[in-house]
Amino acid sequence: MRQIVLDTETTGLNPRTGDRIIEVGCIELMNRRPTGNIFHQYVNPGRDSDPGALAVHGLTTDFLRDKPPFADIVDALCDFVNGAEILIHNAAFDVAFLDEELARLERPKWNQHCDSVVDTLAMARELHPGKRNSLDSLCERYGVSNAHRTLHGALLDAELLAEVYLAMTRGQESLVIDIAPRPVVRIGTWVPIDRSALIVVRADDDETAAHRATLDAIARESRKQSVWATLEVGAD
């Protein structure tokens, strides 16, 4: 199974008001193992980043000035993710930006360029309800070192998310249930039982009286007939 762990950095929080993608990072997993194949590209958004976003990623307008526009990287990006399951933390955010960039180029929406999109934030919330499930929190929870993460970066965050995802889904190497019939192991030889030779031990009068007294006490406490008394009536 081919999976791509993806992250983006953007100029702000809202693609519909003109915020743009400025970095895309992708890590390839094959059968839950990193292959070493990556896609990483800085993008010139043609505008400044909001101060809040700039404080998060640190990618200045001057740094991005000589980088290609999204239109120049879209083919390579779509080729890289083609046919793969895409893993994104808070997928709605990144997919909204990707869809807006693709719409500007009159391209199909993001989900038409890949097999499917999995939101790892939704997975984490299901596994850890009521707890913080940011990428930093998950790194701490699963023992993934993020000491080198002073600023957000798409490729770095994709690498961290890949490690977190593998730790979070450890033990789920296969979702295929083994329904093949298992061999029956027989030990010894079956011998028919002669029921006439069985010894049946029945309760004597004192034991029967003690049993009924116990059932009566249960009925008084619960204010209804016990299950055992009901079964005895049915057997009479």
- Stated as kind and residue range, the H or E segment containing 6 is strand 2-10
Which amino acid, one-letter code, is at 96? A
Positive/negative CA dihedral, 226, 227, 228, 229:
positive
C-alpha separations of 200 from 82, 139, 203, 233 in Å: 73, 65, 10, 22
Helix (H) or strand (E) holding 91: helix 91-104
C-alpha span between 43 and 70 (Å, rounded): 6
Least Cα distance to 17 among 42, 51, 47, 54 occurs for 47
Percentage helix, strand, coil for the chain under 3-state DSSP, each rounded to 5: 45, 15, 40
Strand-pair category, 116-119 with 85-88:
parallel
Those residues whose C-beta lies under 8 Å from the C-beta of residue 20, and which sit 6 or more positions away, are 10, 11, 43, 45, 46, 47, 70, 97, 101
Contacts for 165 with CB less than 8 Å, ≥ 6 apart: 5, 87, 120
| Residue 39 backbone phi and psi in degrees, to 5 | -125, 125
User: Is position 211 annotated as part of the catalytic site?
Assistant: no
Catalytic residue among 57, 89, 113, 152: 152
Catalytic residues: 152
